[in-house]
Structure 1
Amino acid sequence: MNLRDACLVILFFALLTCIPPAFMGIGGMETGMRQLVQARYCFGRYLVVAPLLLNAATVTGFCLLSAVVGGQTIAALNPDKVSPSVGIVITCLVALAVSLLGFKAVHFWERWTWIPSLISLVIAVGCGGRNLRLQVDAPPATASQVISYGCLIAGYFITFGGTSSDYTIYHSPIGVTKFKVFAYMYLGFLVSSVPLLILGAAIGGAVPNVPSWQAAYEVTGIGGVMREMLAPAGGFGKFILVLLALSVTGNIAISTYSVSLNLQMLLPLSTRVPRFVFILMTLAIVIPCALKAAEEWQESLTNFLSVTGYWAGCFDAVIILELVVFRGMDYTTFDHAIWNVGRKLPLGVAALGASICSMGLVVPGMAAPWYTGPIAKTTGDIGFEMGFAVTALCYLLFRWIEIKVRGHL
């Protein structure tokens, strides 16, 4: 896919798929409940374990990807003496130090570290940007390519729906409008991500035509390419490379925070376990998995992003329809007194059943490196779209029946 087509797909799919997580984030402010606690009012006290595990796995996957990129960048400083494996461990340990300090420390880190990260990226583009015009030749994108690439973009954005309310609960509904929270989250996702996705597409399109970039990419991945871009800056360029390597630690820290919340909700006994234990467990999983993923980096990235979009589409559809259709946008119906009372919460059969039913079209419509369904061979990857649409239709029916049988929400 040429750069123009890639940029258009990134922009328009981002404009669309930033809407669900931004909308879902309003619930955190209005209910005071984290995202997977709200999910109990759809999936029930016990069946909510399914989205809990899937969300924890997804967020852990994003930790893994960040760790690989950070590790590759650290290794690029001195590829003869430092391997990506060592860089991955260093990146995770720095992120661990931040995440163990709690939400306030993580928020402080996120609030300010984007500034040096942005300056570093601008410097990198200024030093090596002249090569970005050397794009590989590609014919105009086909409809199948557009849809498949769009599914990868969706797999990045809509998965935020599983964590949005984890952070908006810190905002008081007094004096803060729903629209303001939605707008801040929507623009936060969009403005911070789209330019970097486009830059990534531009770098990826130029790598095959710049021999030094291609050679560096084969050794230390994107970290090696950034080193080559910063090479004209000499020693200062290496300093900037360190800042870029550290920029991913914020992603890992905030992700492990959300994973620890999910794991605490799995079992009644797990609420008694200190949160830092789950953070340590998460990083104990991330480090060895990241070491393995770094060996087949591009395939690992594509596999992960393509699969996450499928389940996230189902989850977002259930949460949004429950609020809009069955609760009439009335957040007071999320009764705090029953959040942990299984017999008063929904059974969860409607939510989980609708999600499972959607797999009948998700699987034939998916196009991953390890499997391409019969529908996807013609249309491209439409797994995300099928997951969202079919789950929504099934949930409307199943939830209506569930409410009629039980006599209440």
Structure 2
Amino acid sequence: MSSEKRTTETPISPPSETPPLRRSSSGLSEADARTSKKYAAFGNIPLSHAPQGQSSRWDVLTDKLLGWSVESRGILPVPPEQRTDPQFWKVFFLWLSANLNILSFSAGTLGPIAFGLNLKDSFGVIVGFNVLGCLLPAYFATFGPKLGLRQMCQARYSFGFYWVTIPAFLNSTTMFGFMVLNCILGGQTLSSASIAMASDGTPAGGGMSWDVGIVVVGIVSLFISFCGFRVLNLYERVAWLPILIVYCIALGVSGKDLISSSPALPEHGSAQQILTFGASIAGFVISYCPLSSDFTSYFPPHVPGWKVFLSTFAGLFLPTVLVQLLGAAFATALLTNPAWTNAYNSAGLAGLFHIILLPAGPGFARFLLVVLAFSVTANVAPTLYSFSLSAQTTLPFDWIVRVPRFIFSFVCTAALVPISIVASTRFYSALNNFLGLISYWSACFGAVVTVEHLVFRRGSFANYRVEDWDRARRLPPGYAAILGAVTGIGIIVLCMDQVWFVGPIAKTTGDIGFEIGFAVSACTYAVLRGIEQRIAHR
């Protein structure tokens, strides 16, 4: 890490026995760029804190970890010489595995169960709002190969060095919330797999508790995330296949029980129901925009942006829509199927899966439940990986880049498991409220970053000075970004429709918060950023 102070534009020379640390165009000091070549294949950086010529126990441990392909790099920019992974299609499989899990299924069930929408309306909302929600994450993924910056570090070029800590904190909170929901669902499914279930949907007593299942899911996810980008990509490349097979079996053995409509649901949903469910569906995928370039920063700069965009969009859209449609279909049938209703009331979504798979055979059904339970690790692992990067950006200190990324994964998991256990009894209310809320701030964030790139950077990555990524005085002040986002959130309050609050506009229209928030934030930021540039000249 460069020893220059953040408040100066030229480096201050260190003691004479140490050569000055000059920055390269990649944003790394020349010393870091040289010494990191040993681990370039894994995107690692030197972590030594001991005096020159000496090695501490920490250095020995980290050297062993780096030798095992564990990635230590955090938010330091990835220099062009390390952006060498030409397999840009990997990002498709990463998102495919991450979104083919049972949390996507649970989001689809919200239409009939939580919002009272019939199957046709639920299908329309799921397809339409996912198209909107996937656009921003897919677009932001194209920034990674061009700049080598993690998403929250790239956001410094609009929010500034210090103010970006606010969206970074919100992003960390959002990802933590997603991981909690995944751990709860995975733990409940593991618990259901440990007990027998009667054909009428009555589960037997005993078996593994939810708490133990949550701990198991958390530990497995930590291991995958701990190893870093390389292992994560290998896992995500194959994790989708067994999950897809389970869904196909579920359709094969219980598809005959699906119905196109239910007398318990209205023939036509109201605009308020449709838009509020749409906000939850959009929130499921739009929340990926503050982290999408975290997984593309090792791709070469010459990779065409449209290929990265399409790979990301397809990886997000296809599994999310297909599994959510499946969730809506089974939830509609649930309302008129006494056995399914009994299983759902007894053991939640895990019980519903159990009764759906039961015709395949009691023992085989429990095996399939185990596969489904571990499907959440394909989502938790990359989220945990990205959480560690966002958490580093939340702490605007020079030394933070020297903290290995996997340390944050350990700390997060230590908090994740107990919080998931506490929240496990209120899964559906937590899911409904959480998905609606995260779409709001993500839309405002996306609006600011998009306007900065298209308007003030003229859509050109050449207009970013990557070497200034951690220089507060070279980055925008960030006041325009914060005011633009806050203005958008202020309008959102009037347009939001949640269980605990309904805005005056939403009482008539339904939840249109994230759409209006995006538009207002974009317009406000465009005006304020122009003023900010004239005053601050940066």
Same fold (TM over 0.5): yes
Cα distance per residue 1:270-310 (max 9 Å; x no partner): 32322222111211222222223221111100110010000
1:336 and 2:466 equivalent? yes
Mark the runs of 5 or more structure 1 residues left unpaired by the alignment: none
Q: Secondary structure at the match of 1:160?
A: coil
Q: Specify the alignment match of 1:131 in structure 2.
A: 257
Whose RCO is larger (CA < 8 A, sep 6+)? 1
Alpha-carbon distance between aligned partners in 1 of 2:210 and 2:335, rounded to the nearest angstrom: 22
| Maintained 8 Å contact 1:263/1:270 | no
Residue 50 of structure 1 is matched in structure 2 by 166
Instruction: Answer whether contact 2:469 2:475 (CA < 8 A) is retained.
Output: yes
2:346 counterpart residue number: 219
Q: Which moved more, 1:2-11 or 1:88-97?
A: 88-97
1:74-113 paired onto structure 2 within 5 Å: 74-79=190-195, 80-113=206-239
Query: Residue type of the partner of 1:16?
Result: L
**TM-score normalized by structure 2?**
0.74
Alignment of 1:66 with 2:193, yes or no, is: no
Match of 1:385 in 2: 515
Report the Cα distance in structure 2 between the residues aligned to 1:312 and 1:12, rounded to whole angstroms.
18
Shift of 1:134: 7.1
**Which of 486, 492, 499 is the matching residue for 1:362?**
492
| Aligned equivalents of 2:524, 2:415: Cα separation in 1 | 35
Aligned partners of 2:384 and 2:246: how far apart in 1?
25
SS in 2 for 1:321: helix
Q: Give the root-mean-square deviation of aligned CA atoms.
A: 1.3
* Aligned counterpart, 1:30: 146
Alignment partners' CA distance in 2, 1:403 and 1:169? 28
Structure 2 partner of 1:325 = 455
Higher helix proportion (structure 1 or 2)? 1
Matching residue within 115, 135, 148 for 1:19: 135
Return the offset for 1:33: 0.7
Residue 116 of structure 1: CA displacement? 0.8
The answer to whether the 8 A contact 2:491-2:513 is kept is: yes
Q: 2:494, 2:533 → 1: CA distance? A: 31
- In structure 2, what is the equivalent of residue 292 of structure 1? 422
**2:186 & 2:422 partners in 1: Cα distance?**
15
Of 262-271 and 109-118, more deviation after overlay is shown by: 262-271
Q: Distance in 1 between matches of 2:235 and 2:141?
A: 21
Tell me the SS of whatever aligns to 1:45. Answer: coil
* 3-state DSSP of counterpart to 1:52: helix
Matched-pair contact (CA < 8 Å) for 1:135–1:209: no
Secondary structure of the corresponding residue to residue 347 of structure 1: coil
Give the deviation of 1:127 after TM superposition: 1.5
Is contact 2:193–2:367 with CA below 8 Å preserved after alignment?
Answer: no
- In structure 1, how many angstroms separate the alpha carbons of the residues matched to 2:489 and 2:405? 34
Asked if structure 1 preserves the Cα contact closer than 8 Å seen for 2:194 and 2:366, the reply is no
Question: Matches of 1:215 and 1:113 in 2, distance apart?
Answer: 31
CA distance in 2, matches of 1:150, 1:177: 32
Work out whether 1:167 is the aligned partner of 2:295. yes
Query: Number of aligned pairs?
Result: 407
Is contact 2:477-2:536 (8 Å) kept?
Answer: no
Give the superposition deviation at 1:338.
Answer: 0.8
CA distance in 2 between counterparts of 1:330 and 1:116 reads 41
Q: What corresponds to 1:398 in structure 2?
A: 528
Q: Tell me, in whole angstroms, the C-alpha distance in 2 between the residues paired with 1:287 and 1:208.
A: 32
Separation in structure 1 between the aligned mates of residue 464 and residue 345 of structure 2, nearest angstrom: 52
Counterpart position of 1:116? 242
**Displacement of 1:261 after TM fit?**
0.7
Q: What is the one-letter code of the residue matched to 1:304? A: F
Q: Distance in 2 between matches of 1:202 and 1:208?
A: 11
Map of 1:178 onto structure 2: 305
Conserved? CA contact 1:357–1:390, under 8 Å: yes
What is the CA distance between 1:135 and its match in structure 2? 4.5
SS in 2 for 1:357: helix
Instruction: Give me the TM-score of the superposition, normalised by structure 1.
Output: 0.97
Tell me which of 259, 263, 284 is aligned to 2:387: 259
Task: Report the Cα distance in structure 2 between the residues aligned to 1:297 and 1:132, rounded to whole angstroms.
Answer: 25
Structure 1 stretch displaced more, 67-76 or 289-298: 289-298
Q: Distance in 2 between matches of 1:118 and 1:228?
A: 18
Percent identity of the aligned residues? Answer: 40
- Does the 8 A contact of 1:18 with 1:157 survive in 2? yes
8 Å contact kept, 1:135–1:202: no
**Cα pair 2:441 2:489 within 8 Å, conserved:** no
- Distance in 2 (alpha carbons) for counterparts of 1:109 and 1:221: 28
Q: Secondary structure at the match of 1:322?
A: helix
CA contact (8 A) 2:391 2:408 kept: yes
The alpha-carbon deviation at position 205 of structure 1 amounts to 1.7
Corresponding position of 1:233: 360
Quick one: which amino acid aligns to residue 389 of structure 1? Answer: A
- Give 1 or 2 for the bigger CA radius of gyration: 2
State whether residues 275 and 511 of structure 2, in contact with CA within 8 Å, keep that contact through their aligned partners in structure 1: yes
Q: Does 1:207 align with 2:337?
A: no
Letter of the 1:374 counterpart: P
